[in-house]
Amino acid sequence: MNHGVGIGLIVAGGLLALAVAFLLRTRLPGRAVFALGAAAGVAIGTGALLLQSHVSVAEWTLTLEAMFLLGPAHIRIVMGPFGPPGRAGRAASRAASRAHGS
C-alpha cells in the first residue's frame, strides 16, 4: 500500500483522460488517442491497486488489462470517434462515388 503514489496516479490518469477526451481526441491521429486513453486507464487502475492491501497477481493482471481497453473505450463511447473530424466521411463518400461510377 502506497497511498500517496496511488492517489497521484489516479489524479494524473484522470487529468490525462480529460485532456484526451476534450482537447486531443479530434486533434491527434486515432492510434495516438487510443494509446493516451489506454495510458490514462492503466494509470487509474494502477493507482487504485496501490491503495489496496494484499492485491494478488491475478488482480493486477486483470485490472491493468481491463483498464488498458476500458480507458479508450469509455472516451470513444461517451465523446465520439477518435482522430480529426471528416476523415471517415470523405473516405466513405469516395468509396460510394466509385461504387456508383461517378
pLDDT digit string, tens, across residues 36-61 = 999 999 999 999 999 999 999 999 99
Per-residue model confidence (pLDDT) at position 85 = 84
Q: What is the mean pLDDT of the chain?
A: 90
| Confidence (pTM) | 0.80
For 79, other C-beta atoms within 10 Å of its C-beta total 15
Q: Return per-residue pLDDT of the chain as tens, 102 residues.
A: 679 999 999 999 999 999 999 999 999 999 999 999 999 999 999 999 999 999 999 999 999 999 999 999 999 999 999 999 876 555 555 666 666 665
SS3 string of the chain?
CCHHHHHHHHHHHHHHHHHHHHHHCCCCCHHHHHHHHHHHHHHHHHHHHHCCCCCCHHHHHHHHHHHHHHHHHHHHHHHCCCCCCCHHHHHHHHHHHHHCCC
Number of domains in the chain: 1
By residue range, what is the domain housing residue 51? 3-99
Per-residue model confidence (pLDDT) at position 92 = 56
